[in-house]
Amino acid sequence: MMIIMLIYTKDDEQYVAGLYLELKDDMLYVANKILRNHDDAEDAVHLAFVNIIKGLQRIQSLQNVNSNLCRETAAYCIVIVKNVSRRIYNKRKTRQTTPIEDFENTLVADDNPVEQALNNNLLKLIDEAIKGLPEKLAKAFVLRYYKGMKHSEIGEFMNVTTSTAQKRVERATDIILKQIGEEAI
């Protein structure tokens, strides 16, 4: 694991492992309250631990000799995960995209033959747009919207992080929607 490579001594490794076991649930709770998305919250906790490892000496100086985990250390870690979560939230907020679920509502088949023909044409446009995507983006898009996989499952399947899988799906969706918009005009 890449995070472990940031740790130089066995004592530090054990310290961080103990810190993780002790605080991960609280940190996940805080991140989830801010992000309202479990996958993003897990990413925030892991990124927070990268920051914690980078500043390990400062955290160890907060450690109280009489207890395994002092309040100052826990509070410091919670502040770090809050800041990381807010950064993720703000990035996500500035990157407003049209969710494919909103787009799929137009694909519902009706009894109206004109609407069915339009929906069939729209599906053909989507298929053509997918064929024009880079392989990684196309695969992420198909796994998400045709296979119904979660971002975390896509990340595991493609050997990438959850956030990378989510970004690939978002990029693919943006490209497809832009291309369909141009084709419709």
**pLDDT computed for residue 51 by the predictor:** 85
CA 36/CA 85 separation, integer angstroms: 10
Q: What is the pLDDT of residues 105-123, one digit of tens each?
A: 544 444 555 566 556 677 7
Average pLDDT, the chain: 78
pLDDT at res. 65: 45
Q: What's the confidence (pLDDT) of residue 69?
A: 55
Average pLDDT of the residues in 31-42: 90
Which residue type, as a one-letter code, is found at position 155?
A: G
**Which pLDDT tens digit goes with each residue over 158-184?**
999 999 999 999 999 888 888 877 655
- Say if residues 166 and 151 touch (Cβ distance below 8 Å): yes
pLDDT digits 0-9 by tens, 56-65:
776 666 564 4
91 contacts: CB under 8 Å, gap ≥ 6: none
115-122 long-range Cβ contacts below 8 angstroms, 24+ apart = 122/180
Give the whole-angstrom CA distance, residue 32 versus residue 26. 10
What kind of fold does domain 100-184 have according to CATH? Arc Repressor Mutant, subunit A (1.10.10)
What's the rounded Cα separation, in Å, for the pair 58 and 3? 18
* CA-to-CA separations, 176 to 98, 105, 143, 146, in angstroms, rounded: 11, 16, 15, 14
Q: What is the pLDDT of residue 115?
A: 60
Give the C-alpha distances (Å, rounded to integers) separating 128 from 26, 93, 131, 166. 46, 30, 5, 22
Does pLDDT of 66 surpass 50?
Answer: no
Burial class (CB in 10 A: 0-12, 13-18, 19+), 179: middle
Average pLDDT value for residue range 85-97: 77
Domain extent listing, the chain: 2-94, 100-184
Q: Which residue has the tokens 């519902």?
A: 108
pTM of the entire structure?
A: 0.47
Q: To the nearest 10°, the Cα dihedral for 88, 94, 97, 99?
A: 40
